[in-house]
Amino acid sequence: METLAPLYRVCLIGPECTGKTTIAARLAERYQTVWVPEYAREYAAAVARPLVAEDADPIARGQLALEDVLAPSATALLILDTDLLSTFVYARHYYGSAPEWIEPLLPTRLANLYLLFSLDVDFAPDEVRDPTADRHAIHDAMRSTLDALNARYERVGGAWEERVVQVIDAIERAW
């Protein structure tokens, strides 16, 4: 079984276009630490085609590798702009299943705190985001997966700056 470095891990999770990346970068600056970007965006840009079920495995492995590479550079806090749980949920949502090795690994890779971003902001399409995604179904699947794993999480919503305040408050209370 894997053992993670003794860092307090905060993972921003939620459907596309809910502010996770922007807020992750701001948190890293505020806490003078590193943040782990979403590997799926990098992967999707690199393959330059619609993603398919076979892409879930390299995306999951890439996300884990990126986290493992960047974690040693973090201070006592590591900010994750998604993690294996998100990859698991997206694979199940889009393809009906995820690579078999992911689900048993989830409990060993859980963040200390998840911040589940709500959908109460406008969707901004770009070359990587899926404008046809059922964001409500993805949000519900993330919430139910967090619940099933007994993961500690708080909901984040409201306007952009309200989200920043909520996230900082949640971290300050939990860490």
165 domain residue, yes or no: yes
Share of the chain above pLDDT 90, in %: 86
- Give tens-digit pLDDT for 10-31: 999 999 889 999 999 999 999 9
Q: Is the pLDDT of residue 105 over 80?
A: yes
Task: Judge whether residue 104 has pLDDT over 90.
Answer: yes
Report pLDDT for 83: 97
Q: Which domain holds residue 48?
A: 27-174
For residues 127-151, give the mean pLDDT: 86
Q: Is residue 14 part of a domain?
A: no
Please check whether residue 145 lies inside any domain of the structure. yes
Percentage of residues of the chain with pLDDT beyond 70: 91
Q: What is the mean pLDDT of residues 103-113?
A: 97
pLDDT tens, 70-98?
Answer: 999 999 999 999 999 999 999 999 999 99
In a domain, 105, yes or no: yes
Is residue 154 within 8 A of residue 56, CB to CB? The reply is no
Task: Kindly tell me if the per-residue pLDDT of 127 is higher than 90.
Answer: no
Nearest CA among 14, 104, 89, 21 for reference residue 59: 89
Name the strand (E) or helix (H) holding 11: strand 8-13
Q: Provide the residue type at 35 as one letter.
A: W
Contact between 135 and 15 under an 8 Å Cβ cutoff? The reply is yes
Residue at 13 is within a domain: no
Quick one: pLDDT at residue 4?
52
Q: Judge whether residue 129 has pLDDT over 60.
A: no
pLDDT band at residue 61 using 50, 70 and 90 as cut-offs = very high
Residue 16 resides in a domain: no
Q: Is 126 among the domain residues?
A: yes
User: Does residue 97 lie within any of the structural domains?
Assistant: yes
Mean pLDDT of the chain: 93
Q: H or E element: which one contains 142?
A: helix 135-148
Question: Kind and range of the H or E element at 1?
Answer: none
CATH number at residue 72: 3.40.50.300
C-alpha R_g of the chain: 15
pTM score above 0.85: yes
Res 2 pLDDT > 60:
no
Question: Mean pLDDT throughout 145-161?
Answer: 97
Q: How many domains does the chain divide into?
A: 1
What distance lies between CA 126 and its chain's CA centroid?
18
